[in-house]
Structure 1
């Protein structure tokens, strides 16, 4: 059975990462991660490029409008309403997914857009994005190799610490399994490294 975009949900590590954000910021993180999954599903390889562009155009049109004008029938838009002041970052993610699938940039624009969306999430969280935030986001997304020491991030960005740490564990081929993964998330969530 084909997965529809309404069936998309966060992976268990992503759900745990979101829970490490302060309660008032959890919806921001959830919306960001779900949107990225939704856009990836819309731009899934093997689909007709015209259909991909039509699906992404719908999202692009939404993010060009103020959140007050968004349709009420799309649950993800309800979660993303708090992003109203940072809609441009969400729109850039749409453009990035389109460039990756129907363009020829190999994902460069998407990588930059995702890093900037994390910075926008930081601003919405009351955190001024700096080089440490950008570096952590780039390392999480596999755009940059990990630095000698993990960046130190404020508590509102603890989900980024977890996502980065789990991505680096996976890239290093560390043995996984649910229990080890859970313990790694606990350590990252509590200690930040």
Structure 2
């Protein structure tokens, strides 16, 4: 695995990767690194059109067969682990693109979290755990909601996210060991949403919670 890609991950995602079974680490790292790269494209866009152009490049590249992509990018090479799941990665790009909208309503929030969860569902299928797709989508959606609550500075948008999450903020989802990374992120997301959208890792308490999730998955 690429250490330089691992270093692009936020602390919670880096910790989640550390508890991922060896067989699933390359694909998990690639997915989390793609999320990090797309988040950067949205965050650094001085105008929506600039962010849309960057995201369109990723969507176009991921729509191509691996051999025809711009493989000088190490992340693009790492995403070869998702061969056969390119549609899910393109959905992920679409989800991040919605964050460039001037106003994000409930319909957009629903689309964003579905599209981001699709990446984790693809990871489940790559792990041979297609039967866990529904649970993976629920956990992935909750992680995406917590991430939105943390990122949104607009109080009304943030309130919509927290209200949307309230219905199942405490629901536990059983995930296979191959998806320990998502189990850890989902557990931190539940904690964050219960506290009104606090950072996933906000002190010793959250760190201890993450370690327990990493070791036991719950």
- For the 8 Å contact 1:158–1:189, the answer to whether it is kept is yes
For residues 9 and 47 of structure 1, what CA distance do their matches in structure 2 show?
A: 21
Paired residues of 2:45 and 2:51 also in contact (CA < 8 A): no
State the match for 1:77 in structure 2. Answer: 76
The unaligned stretches of length 5 or more in structure 2 are 146-163
TM-score if structure 1 supplies the norm length? 0.85
More off after superposition, 95-104 vs 113-122: 95-104
Structure 1: segments with no counterpart, 5+ residues? 1-5
After the TM superposition, list the runs of 4 or more consecutive aligned residues in structure 1 that deviate by more than 4 angstroms: 174-178
Asked if the contact 1:100/1:109 (under 8 Å) is kept, the reply is: no
What number of residue pairs does the alignment pair up?
188
State TM-score, norm by structure 2.
0.76
Structure-2 separation of matches of 1:119 and 1:80: 15
| Distance in 1 between residues matched to 2:36 and 2:111, nearest whole Å | 17
Deviates more, 1:94-103 or 1:159-168: 94-103
Residue 135 of structure 2: which of 132, 136, 140 is its match? Answer: 132
Q: Where is the helix percentage greater, Structure 1 or Structure 2?
A: 2
State the secondary structure of the residue aligned to 1:44. Answer: helix
Tell me which residue corresponds to 1:186. Answer: 211
Superposed CA deviations along residues 40-67 of structure 1, whole A, max 9, x for unmatched, are 2112276212211211111011111011
1:148 Cα deviation from its structure 2 partner: 5.0
Distance 1:96 1:13, change over 3 A: closer
Q: Counterparts of 2:191 and 2:170 in 1: how far apart (Å)?
A: 15
CA-atom RMSD in angstroms = 2.5
Partner of 2:88: 89
**How far off is 1:179 after superposition?**
3.4
Please point out which of 164, 175, 178 is paired with 1:156: 178
The within-5 A match list for 1:13-52 is: 13-44=12-43, 47-52=46-51
Do the aligned partners of 2:6 and 2:33 also contact (CA within 8 Å) in 1?
Answer: no
8 Å contact kept, 1:8–1:34: no
Cα deviations by residue, 1:97-116 (Å, 9 ceiling, x for unpaired)? 22331376533322111111
Contact 1:97 1:107 in 2 (8 A): no
